[in-house]
Amino acid sequence: MSEERSGASILVESLVKQGVEFVFGYPGGAVLPIYDALFGDERLRHILVRHEAGAAHAAEGYARSTGKPGIVLVTSGPGATNAITGIADAYMDSIPMVVITGQVPTGLIGSDAFQEADTVGISRHCTKHNYLVKDPADLAAIVDEAFQIATTGRPGPVLIDIPKDVQIAMATWSDGPIQRKQRYSPRTEGTPDEIARAVAMLANAKAPVFYTGGGVINSGPRATALLRELQAKTGAAVTSTLMGLGAFPADHADWLGMLGMHGTFEANMAMNQADLIVCVGARFDDRVTGRLDAFAPNSEKIHIDIDRASINKTVPVDLPIIGDCATVLDQMLAEWGTRKGQDLTGWKARIDGWRERKSLAYPANAEAIMPQLAIERLYELTKSKAPVISTEVGQHQMWAAQYFPFFKPNKWLTSGGLGTMGYGLPAAIGAQCGNPDSLVIDIAGDASIQMNIQELGTATQYRLPVKVFILNNEWMGMVRQWQELTYESRYSNSYSDSLPDFVKLAEAYGWKGIRIENESELDAGIQAMIDHPGPVIVDCLVHKETNCFPMIPSGAAHTDMILYGDSVAGTMDDEAKALV
């Protein structure tokens, strides 16, 4: 059926056709025709955020926790520029997102009109693709292609900038199938020769490691299942980046934990001493490699990634395989067949020796709650509910990654590549929208939570039972730690003076507020948070000057970790170095 519709109406119909459930947005003059088209339409649920940055991060949280693309709708000028940080965050972490921005009328573009910004130009370097729509007749095809680009290949954000006059203008809308132009067709399979060579290398390896990243999770549940199956056949050790946590179960005997700057001793040592590294859906970023000339110097490297640009970008590899993680892992399993790998007994004994370092053991403190303990107790009291965990950015983020185990994908939402403070609360809101029956907890710091704290109102309005668990040490903790270790304890502007009373703030927004001041109150406070049916802020007062270890100092090799108990001035102690 064909009929005349406004551009705004065509946009709404196109979103419905794509199966969109939620739109995270904030209205303004340049998108009022779209908001008018949304009025009374119960097929789409619009979530009114309090800031456009919150809309982008909420869409990220929704996408990361559901596997579906997140949708953002904001106005022109400041609406679009406020969303840019969230768009850049999604681009860095490969999160599928379609962002719709209003624009001034076509005839005013370039005239410095009220609330005009060059949104296409500004977003060019942090989107997979962007569009400036000039004809409402093109809208249906553009929306269809935008969703295809955002969700296939390496996922990421796509932006559609729609001038106000295009939203008002009329065009023919048809609910029939759209004839796609095949402009985007990413490679998904490895060649037979590549797969055969990869399997031969894996079968001959005596010290192999699977190095896995967020690409495994982005590829979907089939990829995580195939990773576990291939690991079972090969017996290789498995480590993960910050973004890949949950792709492999944390209680598995061959799980090494997270690697990199705040990774475990055993993960970084295994990567250094491996004879074969199979990188699956990760990108050898600087937080993983440390000093490049010292990274895994004696290993062969296979890199499986759907993004051709990520291969050989920072670390040269011996065998690149461009393809989708699930597809390539399936090909490798088929090629492996019934063959046997090498005896890995000696390799696993070495790994056990590194594990004996107990690199995540932390000192006790009778005077204050240790933040690591707070995370451990949060896990123990919530694990039966398999919660979705988001984080802000800082020490609390790393402690959550270290001490809160994950066993399934899509349960861990954090800002990895961009490291965006203020991510966690709106991401939790988006996740709660997509997972209404799940327990969703934002693990936060007292500084980061204030970056988008206005989104408490969003949770209140939509009766979203989000929980915020603040590790309050009265500092910008990670900044303070770097200043202690690198700048001779010159704490330049890292103390969070004049903090709000988070309990009263929670109550002001209609949330429940809980304060935990000592270890004896910890379990009861967490349980009260879990039991409350609505949104809760827990202000957990933790030891103020605890540092986050293990840690690879800036510019150091990934074997030069500072562990708990090492001197601040040094790196690894002699015993640790002897194990390399």
Q: Does the active-site annotation cover 114?
A: yes
Catalytic residue among 13, 22, 24, 52: 52
Q: Does the active-site annotation cover 258?
A: no
Catalytic residue among 269, 271, 332, 478: 478
Residue pair 243/414 in contact by the 8 Å Cβ criterion: yes
Q: In the chain, what is the greatest distance between 2 CA atoms, to the nearest angstrom?
A: 77
The amino acid at residue 248 is F
Q: Does the active-site annotation cover 483?
A: no
> 4 phi and psi, to 5 degrees?
-80, 130
Two structure tokens written together for 122: 């500004």
Residue pair 18/181 in contact by the 8 Å Cβ criterion: no
- CA–CA dist 311, 302 (Å, integer): 10
What is the 8-class DSSP label of residue 91?
Answer: H
Catalytic residue among 4, 114, 356, 577: 114
Two structure tokens written together for 420: 């965006």
Element (H, E) at 512: strand 512-516
Distances (CA, A) of 347 to 231, 270, 344: 15, 9, 5
Catalytic residue among 115, 148, 454, 461: 115
What is the 8-class DSSP label of residue 534?
Answer: S
Q: Does the active-site annotation cover 68?
A: no
CA 531 to chain centre: 27
Catalytic residue among 24, 103, 116, 164: 164
Chain position carrying tokens 């703030």: 505
Distances (CA, A) of 11 to 42, 118, 143, 168, 182: 15, 21, 8, 11, 22
Q: Does the active-site annotation cover 170?
A: no
Per the document, the length of the chain is 580
Q: Would strands 255-258 and 319-322 be described as parallel, antiparallel, or unpaired?
A: unpaired
- CA–CA dist 282, 390 (Å, integer): 20
Nearest alpha carbon to residue 200 among 295, 280, 322, 302: 302
- CA–CA dist 73, 34 (Å, integer): 9
| Active-site annotation, residues | 52, 114-115, 164, 478
